[in-house]
Structure 1
Amino acid sequence: MNDLKPFLETILELADPWFIDEITFDQEQVRIDIYLDFRKGGTFSCPLCGTGGCKVHDSTMKSWRHMNLFQYKAYLHARLPRVDCPSHGIHTAKVPWAREGSGFTLLFEAFAMSLIRFMPVASAARILDEWDTRIWRIAHHYVDKAVEKQDLSHVTAVGVDETARKRGHNYISAFVDLERKGAVFVTEGKGKDVLQAFKSFLEGHGGSPDQVSDFTIDMSPAFITGIEEHFPEARITFDKLLVCKLMNEALDEVRRMEQIENRGLKKTRFIWLRNPENLTKAQKETLDSLTGSRANRKVARAESNQTGLAAGLLSQQPLGRLLPGQRVRVGQSQSPRSDNEVRENGQKA
């Protein structure tokens, strides 16, 4: 094992006064323990002011889990020196392989953070063979540090969406910088209060409500009210996918209402909702027959509105120029959903 000392000192990037004192290997426990020490008379820098040459006052033993060496868990152990600074007194010196207060080396934490970018913390903990609570502490440290350092002075366009974080009515709302394609703020809830929370967060990180010119949201009345109260100068754009989803639901609702009197509309749901370009020849003939029948005039009108709306949303031009009067026609399609949601919210779009 002693032959490995120079090699491990190199890969651990140890510098004077640190050196490897001992290496032990336990095959039954599947682990390697590396004991570090500092040479007698070695000095360190003050952790507060950086003054070098501070003498060691005393030391305490400390252990850190390192990245595995092949299939073996690796642990570092060292006497952690407390140094006597002329200006600040006695404080624990920093070590180059770990941050203060952590039970892991910096390389282990970096590997853990790379895993949780792509999987739940519980899954990463299983791979690392660690308690998930310990991995959560790593994540909280680096996420909180990154959030604290954010500069939001450049944010002008924001996307907002809510999602359930677990079963039941437990929601979080996420705010995304649409220009730089990254999340900037996440908070619990989905009411208008989340806009007030974002405003406070923005102001605390170099931004201002006046600089935000655009919000992209779903048709949440709470989001609309919150934006109007806290970002009065911002324009609101509705997510076109959600608008299409709402219109499709309204179209299907009209079809189900009309099929009570016209049984020929049964089992035709996907013919109405599918993109016309993706219909088979037989399905197109069926759709043409259904839309041409006076008995299906309500659902035919709703289908016409839905098709026109979809075409407008796919265009690069403003929807208002392409579909004048569309908001009124939506309200005339005999669907309570389209009347109450699409038309009313459309007037604000």
Structure 2
Amino acid sequence: MRGPGGHDVDLSDFRHRGINEFSIRKGHVYMTSFSDLKASRVVYLAEGRKKGVVEEFLEDLQAREVDPAKIQVVCCDMWDPYLNEIGMFLKNAPVVFDRFHVMGQINLALETVRRREQRENTVLKKSRFLWLRNPKNLTEKQKSRLASLTSQYLKTTCAHRIKLALARFWEIRDPAEAITYLKRWYNWATHSRLYPIIRAARTIKRYWHGIINYLKTHVTNETVEGLNSKIKTAMKRAYEFKHVDYLRTIVYLVAVRLSFSYPQ
């Protein structure tokens, strides 16, 4: 199978697809990456984060003699232009919403609650990362300060507990138990009287189906996040190359795992 740049890329087992985007320069200029989650590599890059990129990718697959109907799962974020095209062109492939992006919704709400409360309570100053990071990754000093903060009656403490409760959902293996848990979490979040949390919970409820699909597939975009890290590092090193074609070439070199044929 001829891939980017004409090099050999085996897509015979391309069943789990991940969609993600990354910024290539300031001003909301993006590229959208389509990845093979099993092989942990980028398969195609589209310029922009817009309607039409999914169809563009599928046309590229067909040109490379790959049947899009073989795609069994699509893992992406909660962005309607992606979802509309997936529903149109990949009707048999369930959509799974990535844990990273779902938790991102509640983290954004938590930070909004903290910033607002900080205006009236200076004890919350310089505590942002204490609330957003995984507690397991905090230093002993940070854990001590977080414990001191959570012992106080703060709106941010309530928002943080709701966030941690959602994080536990992903650890539940029994689908029926997980669905019941998620419903209870939603009821708690929407009765918290914290508007940013309520809004985030309603957004999550709107995309409920993709979260429930995770329980059936356990597919995540973790490999894509790793690829994005490689891409960002490579782009920093090649900062002088501003043209999209050059940037695309750099991404293919670091994230496609090309197989080169050398003359004997």
**Pairing of 1:201-212 with structure 2 (within 5 A):** 201-212=60-71
- Deviation, 1:255, is 1.5
Deviations 1:259-303 (A, max 9, x none): 344444334333323333355666555544543444x2x322211
Aligned position for 2:5: 144
**Structure (1/2) with the larger strand percentage:** 1
- TM-score calculated relative to the size of structure 1: 0.49
Pick the aligned partner of 1:334 from 176, 195, 200. 195
Of structures 1 and 2, the larger Rg is shown by 1
Q: Does 1:299 align with 2:156?
A: yes
Tell me if the contact between 1:276 and 1:284 (Cα under 8 Å) persists in the aligned partners: yes
Q: Does 1:324 align with 2:182?
A: yes
Change (3 A) 1:280 1:227: same
- TM-score calculated relative to the size of structure 2: 0.63
Deviates more, 1:182-191 or 1:265-274: 265-274
- Deviation, 1:253, is 0.9
Tell me if the contact between 1:154 and 1:207 (Cα under 8 Å) persists in the aligned partners: no
**Bigger relative CO (Cα 8 Å, ≥ 6 apart):** 2
Would you say how many aligned residue pairs link Structure 1 and Structure 2? 204
**Pairing of 1:188-337 with structure 2 (within 5 A):** 188-279=47-138, 284=143, 286-294=145-153, 296=154, 298-313=155-170, 315=171, 317=173, 321-322=177-178, 323-325=181-183, 326-331=185-190, 332=192, 333-335=194-196
Deviations 1:166-202 (A, max 9, x none): 4434322111111222222112121231111122222
- Deviation, 1:251, is 0.9
Aligned position for 2:262: none
Aligned position for 1:344: 206
Tell me if the contact between 2:71 and 2:93 (Cα under 8 Å) persists in the aligned partners: yes
Tell me if the contact between 2:96 and 2:210 (Cα under 8 Å) persists in the aligned partners: no
**Structure (1/2) with the larger helix percentage:** 2
Tell me if the contact between 2:31 and 2:45 (Cα under 8 Å) persists in the aligned partners: yes
SS for the counterpart of 2:59 is helix
- Deviation, 1:224, is 1.9
Change (3 A) 1:254 1:168: closer
Change (3 A) 1:286 1:220: same
Change (3 A) 1:143 1:288: closer
Q: What amino acid does structure 1 have at the position aligned with 2:77? A: D
- Rounded Cα–Cα distance in structure 1 between residues aligned with 2:159 and 2:167: 12
Change (3 A) 1:196 1:278: closer
Tell me if the contact between 1:174 and 1:183 (Cα under 8 Å) persists in the aligned partners: yes
Deviations 1:69-111 (A, max 9, x none): xxxxxxxxxxxxxxxxxxxxxxxxxxxxxxxxxxxxxxxxxxx
Q: Any stretches of 5+ residues in structure 2 without a counterpart?
A: 212-264
- Deviation, 1:157, is 0.5
Q: What amino acid does structure 2 have at the position aligned with 1:216? A: C
Tell me if the contact between 1:159 and 1:216 (Cα under 8 Å) persists in the aligned partners: yes
**Pairing of 1:71-150 with structure 2 (within 5 A):** 143-146=4-7
SS for the counterpart of 1:173 is strand
